[in-house]
Amino acid sequence: MSLRKTIKKANSIANRGEADAVLKQLGIVQLQIERAEADMEENIRKAKETAAEIVKPLKEQLKNYEHDLDAYLRANAADYAVTRSVQLVFGRIGFNKSKGAIKFLTKWSPAKVIEAIQSLAKKEEKERYLKVSYSLQKEMLNKDRREGAITDKQLAKFGLGWDAPDEPFWTPDREKLAQYIN
């Protein structure tokens, strides 16, 4: 069966019989897409497995080489105190300054640091170093509305409303359509 199908415009369906014919074609195309995507996923899975078999020992080898270089450089750090790095035939080795990162001092917790900034810092520093944010939890509001925990009247007090319009739907009968696809 051909992968290309002519799809009628929605306004060209005049009756339920024509709607059923379009539904049949829609279902056939959906099944063809699903099969093609399943085949693609299987091919991708196989390719990944093959690549993983090739790459796994290479990554282990790379990890070992990096470990050896790291151990060598750390053991000979004094040799790089002044020059910091050395150009070799196949590359450069040495030490770079890291970007650095904030860390907690011994016996300091995040709560204690926040408390210290709040009490000791200037207003500009507080605004710069402490973040306070609020965000609307739409998922929770939707859940509570569906479960009746919050009413439309309560939502309106918050400047919110509930919108649940009717949506058209279609569900092809997969068992009946399977006979049309090889």
Averaged pLDDT for residues 140-147: 91
Please check whether residues 16 and 52 belong to one and the same domain.
Answer: yes
pLDDT digits (tens, 9 = 90+) for 70-105: 999 999 999 988 888 999 999 999 998 888 888 888
Whole-number pLDDT of residue 1: 45
pLDDT digits (tens, 9 = 90+) for 68-77: 999 999 999 9
Whole-number pLDDT of residue 73: 93
**CA torsion sign, 159 to 162 to 165 to 170?**
positive
Please check whether residues 75 and 46 belong to one and the same domain.
Answer: yes
Whole-number pLDDT of residue 61: 96
Please check whether residues 114 and 46 belong to one and the same domain.
Answer: no
Please check whether residues 63 and 116 belong to one and the same domain.
Answer: no
Please check whether residues 108 and 145 belong to one and the same domain.
Answer: no
Please check whether residues 83 and 8 belong to one and the same domain.
Answer: yes
Averaged pLDDT for residues 10-16: 82
Count Cα neighbours of 167 within 13 Å in the Cβ-side half-sphere: 4
Whole-number pLDDT of residue 123: 81
**Residue 181 predicted with pLDDT over 90:** no
Please check whether residues 66 and 78 belong to one and the same domain.
Answer: yes
Averaged pLDDT for residues 101-121: 85
Please check whether residues 24 and 73 belong to one and the same domain.
Answer: yes
Averaged pLDDT for residues 20-42: 94
Instruction: List the single range of 26-30, 143-147, 173-177 with lowest mean pLDDT.
Output: 173-177
How far is the C-alpha of 159 from the C-alpha of 153, rounded, in Å?
10
* Residue 27 contacts residue 21 (beta carbons within 8 Å): no
Domain contains 176 = no
Total domain count, the chain:
3
Averaged pLDDT for residues 97-115: 85
Residue 135's beta-bridge partner residues? none
- pTM, to two decimals: 0.48
Nearest Cα to Cα of residue 158 among 136, 132, 139 = 136
**Residue 8 predicted with pLDDT over 70:** no
How far is the C-alpha of 100 from the C-alpha of 104, rounded, in Å?
13
Domain contains 172 = no
Determine the structural domain holding residue 112 and report its residue range.
99-130
**CA torsion sign, 19 to 21 to 27 to 30?**
negative
